[in-house]
């Protein structure tokens, strides 16, 4: 992705995460990115192309974030719990705008199969990673454990976005992890 294209996509992600889908216009992206008028439309000819570019950029950023957040040993259920709590915390604080953009795009994907397919790629990569961890930690059914943990973490993130003052205690997360792994 060219520098200008990346700046436009990053600005579009921020707009989605802070102002919602209605804010995603070429002009607003140019202004948010500090780019000359017409830059976003030069790289993303249509609104649909802009949305595709945003989804692609979100996938790139997710890979970058995962690489930095999860370069840790997940040797036992305690470490895995710490990683999950860290992920929920990062998703609802440091990366709040990206998380909100992801949820905005997820809702849009109900009506747009192209977005749904792209988001599914990222979800599948996360699923495979979690299945491997569950398997390494001795889960009797790593697929079921992963589905349950993913749903639980999604709920924690949604609650963290909509009710930031409510935080799940680590001890509760550990109980859920242990229940899923046994």
One DSSP character per residue, 103-130 reads: HHHHHHHTT-HHHHHHHHHHHHHHHHHH
Q: For residues 32 and 5, state if they share a domain.
A: yes
Report pLDDT for 71.
57
Question: What is the percent of the chain with per-residue pLDDT over 70, rounded to a whole number?
Answer: 97
In which domain, by residue range, is 42 found? 1-54
Q: For residues 10 and 86, state if they share a domain.
A: no
86 Cβ contact partners less than 8 Å away, ≥ 6 residues apart: 69
Q: For residues 48 and 135, state if they share a domain.
A: no
Report pLDDT for 31.
97
Report pLDDT for 19.
95
Kindly give the parts of the chain with pLDDT less than 70. Answer: 1, 69-73
Q: How many CB atoms lie within 10 A of CB 118?
A: 20
- Domains: count for the chain: 2
Q: For residues 86 and 152, state if they share a domain.
A: yes
Residue ranges in the chain assigned as alpha helix (H) = 3-19, 26-33, 39-43, 47-69, 77-92, 96-109, 113-136, 142-162, 170-181
Q: What is the pTM of this model?
A: 0.85
Token pair recorded at residue 99: 């998380």
């Amino acid at each position: 992705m060219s520098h200008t294209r990346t700046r436009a996509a990053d600005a579009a992600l921020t707009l989605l995460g802070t102002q919602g889908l209605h804010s995603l216009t070429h002009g607003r992206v140019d202004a948010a990115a500090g780019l000359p008028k017409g830059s976003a439309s030069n790289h993303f000819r249509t609104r649909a192309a802009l949305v595709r570019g945003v989804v692609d950029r979100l996938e790139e950023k997710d890979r970058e974030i995962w690489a930095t957040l999860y370069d840790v040993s997940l040797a036992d259920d305690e470490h895995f719990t710490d990683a999950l709590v860290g992920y929920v915390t990062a998703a609802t604080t440091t990366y709040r705008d990206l998380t909100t953009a992801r949820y905005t795009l997820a809702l849009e994907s109900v009506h747009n199969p192209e977005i749904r397919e792209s988001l599914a790629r990222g979800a599948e990569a996360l699923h495979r990673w979690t299945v491997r961890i569950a398997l390494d930690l001795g889960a009797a059914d790593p697929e079921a454990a992963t589905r349950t943990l993913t749903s639980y973490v999604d709920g924690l993130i949604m609650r963290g976005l909509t009710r930031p003052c409510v935080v799940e205690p680590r001890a509760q997360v550990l109980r859920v992890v242990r229940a899923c792994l046994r």
